Amino acid sequence: MRKSLFILLIVVLFSATIAVSGSVINPSLNHDQAVPMPLPQPKAPLGPPISENKVVTYDIATGVETNWTVSADDISEYAFTKGFRGDTPTNGSSGFDDEGIIDNYGSLTRVNNPEDYPYRVNCKIYMTFPNGWTYLASAVLIDDNHALTAGHCVYSQGDGGWATSIEVIPAYDNGSEPYGSAWATNLLSWSGWVYNEDFNDDMGVIRLNTNIGNSTGWYGYGYTSHDSWYQTYTSHNPGYPASYPYSGEYMYYWYGTFDDVDTYIVYFDREAYGGQSGSGATVVYNGNPYTVAVLSHGNYWWTGDTRMTGTKYGQIQDWINGNVSFELDNSPVFDRDALASIPKNSEVIRNYPNPFNARTNIEFTLSEDSKVVLSVYNIRGEKIDMLLNEDLNAGEHTVSWDASDYPSGVYFYKLTTPKRSLTKRMILIK
């Protein structure tokens, strides 16, 4: 009798564990509530540089964050890990049609066959953060159950920290999910991003609860220390742009060579859109596609991709393969209490909706009491409205702009404080 009760108790506890874990990892997520993940604008890191061998992981089910110190192995001039084309037959070509074309990045083109290789490896992702906001962005599979994305897609200081859930959907197309979806169980990023918001480390890895990549395939990933390589080989960059004039419902694609190369960032002279964050820059080398960078940040004139380095490559490879090369780092990499005391610049978070019809809300946060001027400009740079010119307390603020008297078009709103001036674009459609 006691044996039967014991077995029953185990079954009940196991079922309860599954239910609790499932409610965290695989929640009921309303895609209609998602807004494009805003593309971060260039800014300086919050503090001094943090060593690239400092890594942070996060367990979504338990909420446990762990800091690691990962000693860099001997780094060669280059290294690549091959991908896999997937078990599902494909009607598409074996590679990118524009392979080998050396030219500057062109315009975005819609992918009409996202379910075919090589496009089906690219994913639309939905991320929910502690503040309740749900965003959509992009990622690329680099293993049967791992996806590469931007660091700000897994950890966002402005949204409360680590994502509480992430749904990853390969080959998404206007509501169609030909390969289903997978959910994040564990997340990885670099201390330079998590504690310092340093774009040099704006890269993240998502571990998934299923081996969805066995069906879709995945790209390889790699790096090279030869800067000229990024300006010689064509970079292929599919993703899910979701800010105007795009909706995030379709995969779009652009390609070209990078215009500028730094140690940690590669740049091309095109404006990216909200929703493209985390999309992979993939290069075909010796007939195999390898993701070498992820779309990170930018402005109206250029976009920066965080580059895969030898150190990051080795750390990702170890984490995917389960190698015990990570050493616990119990000393704070960057004290969060100290971080909170660092004076920060005022930041415009977003205006929503955007595009909008007649009225939009401009939301921003002040880290300290400050004089604030908020103005609106037309496409010619002429000031057409002043929404604020007063002293405000630290905290969150929302200001509405009624554009009923203005024609459809592109407008800019500019937030100015004694420490910073920041301008963003909005679209009025009537």
The domain spanning residue 369 has which CATH number? 2.60.40.1930
Name which residue leads in pLDDT, 304 or 94: 304
Give the range among 96-100, 117-121, 191-195, 423-427 with minimum mean pLDDT: 96-100
Domain assignment present for 141: yes
pLDDT bin (cut points 50, 70, 90) of residue 353 is: confident
Domain assignment present for 18: no
296 and 207 housed in the same domain:
yes
Cβ atoms of 221 and 316 closer than 8 Å? yes
- Residue 59, both tokens: 């367990």
pLDDT in tens, 311-325: 999 999 989 987 545
272 and 394 housed in the same domain:
no
Helix (H, G, I), strand (E, B) or coil at 405: coil
pLDDT bin (cut points 50, 70, 90) of residue 171 is: very high
- The pLDDT of residue 36: 94
88 and 145 housed in the same domain:
yes
In the predicted model, what is the mean pLDDT of residues 135-149? 97
The secondary structure of 323-377, three-state, reads CCCCEECCCCCCCHHHHHHCCCCCEEEEEECCCECCEEEEEEEECCCEEEEEEEE
Look at residues 328, 360, 385 and tell me which one is the last residue of a structural domain. 328
Q: Report the C-alpha gap between 369 and 391 in whole angstroms.
A: 7
387 and 251 housed in the same domain:
no
The sign of the dihedral angle between the CA atoms of 306, 226, 120, 299 is positive
136 and 283 housed in the same domain:
yes
279 and 361 housed in the same domain:
no
pLDDT bin (cut points 50, 70, 90) of residue 15 is: very low
315 and 409 housed in the same domain:
no
pLDDT in tens, 50-63: 888 889 999 999 99
Q: Report the C-alpha gap between 276 and 33 in whole angstroms.
A: 18
- The pLDDT of residue 344: 44
Q: Which domain holds residue 309?
A: 35-328
- The pLDDT of residue 73: 59
Tell me the H-state helices in 86-217: 191-194, 213-216
Domain assignment present for 4: no
Write down the residue that tokens 């300086």 correspond to: 44
- The pLDDT of residue 391: 93
290 and 420 housed in the same domain:
no
Highest-confidence segment of 348-352, 403-407, 414-418: 403-407
In the predicted model, what is the mean pLDDT of residues 130-158? 95
In the predicted model, what is the mean pLDDT of residues 108-137? 94
In the predicted model, what is the mean pLDDT of residues 224-240? 90
318 and 354 housed in the same domain:
no
Contacts of 138 (CB under 8 A, 6+ apart): 122, 123, 124, 125, 149, 238, 239, 240, 275, 276, 277, 278, 279, 280, 295
Cβ atoms of 39 and 273 closer than 8 Å? yes
- The pLDDT of residue 101: 54
Q: Report the C-alpha gap between 155 and 334 in whole angstroms.
A: 15
In the predicted model, what is the mean pLDDT of residues 54-80? 84
Q: What pairs with residue 364 in β-bridges?
A: 348, 397
Q: How many CA atoms lie within 13 A of 373 on its CB side?
A: 11
176 exposed, middle or buried (CB, 10 Å; 0-12, 13-18, 19+)? exposed
Cβ atoms of 415 and 346 closer than 8 Å? yes
321 and 373 housed in the same domain:
no
Which helix (H) or strand (E) element contains residue 337? Answer: helix 336-341
**In the predicted structure, residue 279 carries a pLDDT above the cut 90:** yes
pLDDT in tens, 176-187: 999 999 999 999
Contacts of 378 (CB under 8 A, 6+ apart): 384, 406, 409, 411, 412
**In the predicted structure, residue 17 carries a pLDDT above the cut 70:** no
Structural domain tally of the chain?
A: 2
**In the predicted structure, residue 71 carries a pLDDT above the cut 70:** no
318 and 402 housed in the same domain:
no
Average per-residue pLDDT for the chain: 83
- Residue 141, both tokens: 């599979």
What phi and psi values does residue 234 have, to the nearest 5 degrees? Answer: -70, 130
The sign of the dihedral angle between the CA atoms of 249, 255, 258, 263 is positive
**In the predicted structure, residue 339 carries a pLDDT above the cut 60:** no
CA distances to 40, 421, 428 from 43, rounded to whole Å, are 9, 12, 27
304, amino acid identity: G
Q: What percent of the chain has pLDDT over 90?
A: 53
What phi and psi values does residue 214 have, to the nearest 5 degrees? Answer: -65, -30
- The pLDDT of residue 125: 98
Contacts of 195 (CB under 8 A, 6+ apart): 46, 47, 50, 56, 333, 334, 336, 339
Name which residue leads in pLDDT, 241 or 330: 241
- The pLDDT of residue 127: 96
Q: Which CATH number goes with the domain that contains 247?
A: 2.40.10.10
350 and 384 housed in the same domain:
yes
